Amino acid sequence: MTAPTVRGWSPLRCRGFHAPPASSLKFIPKQRFRHLPEQRSPAPALWSLPLSDLESYFVSLLNASATLPRLRQLHGLIYRSGLHQSCFVLTKLIRSLTALDVPVESYPKLIFRQAKWRNPFLYTALIRGYSLRGNLADCVDLYGSMRRDGISPVTFTFTAIFKACGENLDLRLGEQMHCQMALFGGFGSDLYVGNTLIDMYVKCGVLGSARKMFDLMPERDLISWTTLIVAYSKSQDMASARRLFDCMPEKDAIAWTAMVTGFVQNSKPGEALKLFDRMQTARVSLDEYTLAGVISACAQLGASKYAKWVSEIAEENMLSPTSNVVVGSALIDMYAKCGQVDDAYKVFEAMKERNVYSYSSMIVGFAINGQPKAAISLFHEMLKSTDIRPNDVTFIGVLTACSHGGMVDQGRQIFASMEKTYGILPNADHYACMVDLLGRAGKLTEALELIRKMPVEPHGGVWGALLGACKVHTDPDIAEIAAAQLFIFEPDAVGNYILLSNIYASSGRWDDVLRVRKLMRGKKLRKNPGCSWFEAKKGEIHEFFAGDTKHPRSDEIKQVLDELVGRLEASGYEPILNSVAYDVSDKDKRRILLGHSEKLALAFGILSSTSGSTIRIVKNLRICEDCHSFMCGASQVTGRDIVIRDNMRFHHFRDGACSCRNFW
């Protein structure tokens, strides 16, 4: 078999190109070419093409090949055409193989080894293959071989290694390769290299180096700006993220979405909504991810006005929750967290397509809004579906429903089915739900034993659930065990100290109360003041702190509250004085209880809203026992529905009863 004569070839240009011996083609059966019309036998006109055109022809075929059998067939044709030593063609072949997730050590590396003359692009193709799979050591070894062969790297050589360093969080090697790149010069001004370096430093947690790289870049694009904005957001530095965003010469939808999502992730829902309003004014196109971020902001704020606003915007932008499962699932979550579980279920029912996220959002929504039976029922409905299987979030919702509904036996069965039936290993969050379930039911010793037998390390949420249960059932001994662990996991979480102090106070152990408060002073920890928010009918958010007298209508609020207390006392209401964790007189305890922020918000709600409308309040702390009793009575004497979202769950008060059935 002789090599084909191709016009324009020369020994100098071909550098040893020749047809392989017939024996080397035994592994490529003729029948493999049957399905390639152009490739049964290359047309005679093909052999007369110049070398560059013939190479381009095969590269175009490789670009259009999306399966391994097709690439193997083309490789055989490359051999027959005498291009088995063309770095241009082999580079593309290796890139195509690694893109199909073919193990680099097998086929791609064999092609590389059989190449007699290797250029930097061929080396880089293999380095990139290792990088795609996170094989950093192999990337560096191959780079070393490349340098020993006297071959200088190209731009993509470094970007491939930098990506692998970022994925492996190997900052030291990344910095060494950065220095290596600087020695060659000429790469520092490359935009793609700069972006890759920023991404590497961000992933390695060195935001300062990422910013220095950004500042040194002579040219930046939207990727450069957005990568750094997202990094600042994740590091909870929204001030720097906002400054960078405001300096952007032009902003696309991705940059706007990054900022909106950043504010949401850093618990700044008001800022997220303000920025989204600016985004609307700037007429930036929206997608489902932007809306999902805004919807999360509405959920955090718990403001029904914004919920309706975002729903209308979704419809206007052809992102209807009935047809878009991402938007639909987010809206379900939002309505549920605004206490509007009926509206959430309307969205769920109207969805043409549902997935595990939409089911899980609705299950959690029922659970936190005091409808545990509805949550369990929907869970069983989901299990009947052949194409939707529960995930770990689904089980958190179901176990939460069991916990808030006091369904201990059912919760145990569902927890046991996670691994046995669905192959989902319970994590610490699931164990926290079980501890909460047992603890709320008064089974504190069993809950403690469950923690001690956990196959995974318990986190603060697990011990926090136990401490919260000790408050409900006034068990200072087990509370001390839980608190000791929490002081290790969360040494600066003031709520844990307050909760232990309150448990001691409820038990009359005032010396221990003083000891905990002294510990708090030593750590310079201060109790977060109780705060409640009420949304007026025009959408304004009114904020109330415990004992607050700064509201413009403070005198009217006090008058309404005094009248309400009189009506409640006439119907048998008595303040629950042990809700005050201070060793003061009963008179002072009554005064303190009357000044709780949710009571002030309720009085303002009665004063400013229309008769018969629902009063919705959001509170930053857990509602106390006295306020819970007060709200039950208020719903009865006023004939108003009252919805309070505290930091634990929703309470729907109606006709003198709460949806939690006094179990929270």
Q: What is the DSSP string of 383-418?
A: HT-SS----HHHHHHHHHHHHHHT-HHHHHHHHHHH
Is the pLDDT assigned to residue 367 strictly greater than 60? yes
**For residues 17 and 567, what is the distance between their CA atoms, to the nearest angstrom?**
100
Q: What is the mean pLDDT of residues 549-578?
A: 90
Query: What pLDDT was estimated at residue 61?
Result: 86
Query: What pLDDT was estimated at residue 32?
Result: 36
The CA–CA distances, whole Å, from 268 to 47, 278, 349, 494 equal: 67, 16, 31, 21
Query: What pLDDT was estimated at residue 29?
Result: 38
pLDDT: is 570 or 3 the higher one? 570
Query: What pLDDT was estimated at residue 76?
Result: 87
Query: What pLDDT was estimated at residue 77?
Result: 83
Two structure tokens written together for 201: 């430093």
Is the pLDDT assigned to residue 299 strictly greater than 90? no
The residue type at 627: C
pLDDT: is 106 or 304 the higher one? 106
* pLDDT tens-digit map of 513-536: 999 989 988 888 877 778 898 877
**For residues 330 and 295, what is the distance between their CA atoms, to the nearest angstrom?**
6
**For residues 622 and 183, what is the distance between their CA atoms, to the nearest angstrom?**
60
Two structure tokens written together for 26: 């035994």
Report the percent of the chain where pLDDT is more than 90. Answer: 48
Query: What pLDDT was estimated at residue 265?
Result: 87
How many C-beta atoms surround the C-beta of residue 216 within 10 A? 11
End-to-end CA, the chain = 85
Average model confidence (pLDDT) across the chain: 85
Question: Roughly what angle, to the nearest 10 degrees, separates helices 238-247 and 222-234?
Answer: 160
**For residues 422 and 498, what is the distance between their CA atoms, to the nearest angstrom?**
40
Two structure tokens written together for 70: 């097709």
Low-confidence winner among 5-14, 208-217, 348-357, 392-401 (lowest mean pLDDT)? 5-14
542 beta partners: 534
Query: What pLDDT was estimated at residue 48?
Result: 64
Query: What pLDDT was estimated at residue 413?
Result: 95
Query: What pLDDT was estimated at residue 22?
Result: 34
Q: What is the mean pLDDT of residues 247-269?
A: 90
Is the pLDDT assigned to residue 239 strictly greater than 50? yes
Query: What pLDDT was estimated at residue 539?
Result: 66
Place 18 in a pLDDT band, splitting at 50, 70 and 90: very low
**For residues 90 and 366, what is the distance between their CA atoms, to the nearest angstrom?**
58
User: How distant is the alpha carbon of residue 629 from its chain centre?
Assistant: 37
**What is the enclosing helix (H) or strand (E) of 41?**
none
CB 542 within 8 A of CB 551: yes
Is the pLDDT assigned to residue 257 strictly greater than 70? yes
Contacts of 355 (CB under 8 A, 6+ apart): 325, 329, 388
Q: What is the mean pLDDT of residues 56-72?
A: 87
Nearest in space to 61 (alpha carbons), one of 38, 79, 44: 38
The CA–CA distances, whole Å, from 509 to 161, 281, 471, 515 equal: 62, 59, 14, 10
Domain ranges of the chain: 1-7+14-41+49-117, 118-220, 452-522, 531-658
Number of alpha carbons in the 13 Å side-chain half-sphere of residue 396: 15
**What is the enclosing helix (H) or strand (E) of 61?**
helix 51-63
Two structure tokens written together for 251: 């902003």
Q: What is the mean pLDDT of residues 488-517?
A: 89
* pLDDT tens-digit map of 611-648: 888 898 988 888 888 999 999 999 999 999 999 988 77
Query: What pLDDT was estimated at residue 570?
Result: 92
Report the percent of the chain where pLDDT is more than 70. Answer: 91
Q: What is the mean pLDDT of residues 481-497?
A: 90
Query: What pLDDT was estimated at residue 321?
Result: 80
Is the pLDDT assigned to residue 17 strictly greater than 50? no
- In this prediction the pTM is 0.67
Query: What pLDDT was estimated at residue 134?
Result: 85
Beta pairing class for 650-654 and 642-645: antiparallel
Q: Where are the alpha helices (DSSP H) in 351-391?
A: 356-368, 372-383
User: How distant is the alpha carbon of residue 661 from its chain centre?
Assistant: 33
Q: What is the mean pLDDT of residues 314-339?
A: 84
- Torsion, Cα of 539, 540, 546, 548 (10° steps): -150
* pLDDT tens-digit map of 27-53: 333 333 334 444 444 444 555 667 778
Low-confidence winner among 365-374, 426-435, 557-566, 582-591 (lowest mean pLDDT)? 582-591
Query: What pLDDT was estimated at residue 40?
Result: 45
Query: What pLDDT was estimated at residue 123?
Result: 93
CB 17 within 8 A of CB 82: yes
Nearest in space to 70 (alpha carbons), one of 82, 58, 80: 58
The CA–CA distances, whole Å, from 344 to 114, 236, 350, 616 equal: 62, 31, 10, 16
Sheet holding 615-619, edge to edge: 541-545, 531-535, 615-619, 642-645, 650-654, 657-658
Q: What is the mean pLDDT of residues 84-111?
A: 89
* pLDDT tens-digit map of 434-480: 999 999 899 999 999 999 999 999 999 999 999 989 988 999 999 99
Q: What is the mean pLDDT of residues 164-173?
A: 93
The residue type at 585: S
For the stretch 502-506, contacts whose Cβ atoms lie closer than 8 Å and that sit 24 or more positions apart, written own/partner, are 502/471, 502/581, 503/467, 503/470, 503/471, 503/474, 503/475, 503/476, 503/479, 504/476, 505/578, 505/581, 505/582, 505/583, 506/471, 506/474, 506/578, 506/581
Residue in the structure block whose two tokens are 């509250």: 561
Place 23 in a pLDDT band, splitting at 50, 70 and 90: very low
Q: Where are the alpha helices (DSSP H) in 267-371?
A: 269-281, 288-301, 304-316, 325-337, 341-350, 356-368
CB 660 within 8 A of CB 404: yes
pLDDT: is 42 or 650 the higher one? 650
Query: What pLDDT was estimated at residue 569?
Result: 92
Q: Is 68 exposed, middle or buried (0-12, 13-18, 19+ CB in 10 A)?
A: middle
Nearest in space to 187 (alpha carbons), one of 215, 153, 136, 164: 153
- Report, in angstroms and rounded to the nearest whole number, the Rg of the chain calculated over CA atoms: 33
Query: What pLDDT was estimated at residue 289?
Result: 82
Query: What pLDDT was estimated at residue 24?
Result: 36
Contacts of 353 (CB under 8 A, 6+ apart): 323, 325
CB 459 within 8 A of CB 489: yes
Q: Is 372 exposed, middle or buried (0-12, 13-18, 19+ CB in 10 A)?
A: buried
Residue in the structure block whose two tokens are 């850093």: 266
CB 104 within 8 A of CB 129: yes
The CA–CA distances, whole Å, from 610 to 239, 604, 633 equal: 40, 12, 19
Beta pairing class for 650-654 and 657-658: antiparallel
Q: What is the mean pLDDT of residues 161-165?
A: 93
Place 662 in a pLDDT band, splitting at 50, 70 and 90: confident
**For residues 601 and 561, what is the distance between their CA atoms, to the nearest angstrom?**
10
Query: What pLDDT was estimated at residue 31?
Result: 37
pLDDT: is 339 or 226 the higher one? 226
**For residues 460 and 489, what is the distance between their CA atoms, to the nearest angstrom?**
6
Query: What pLDDT was estimated at residue 365?
Result: 92
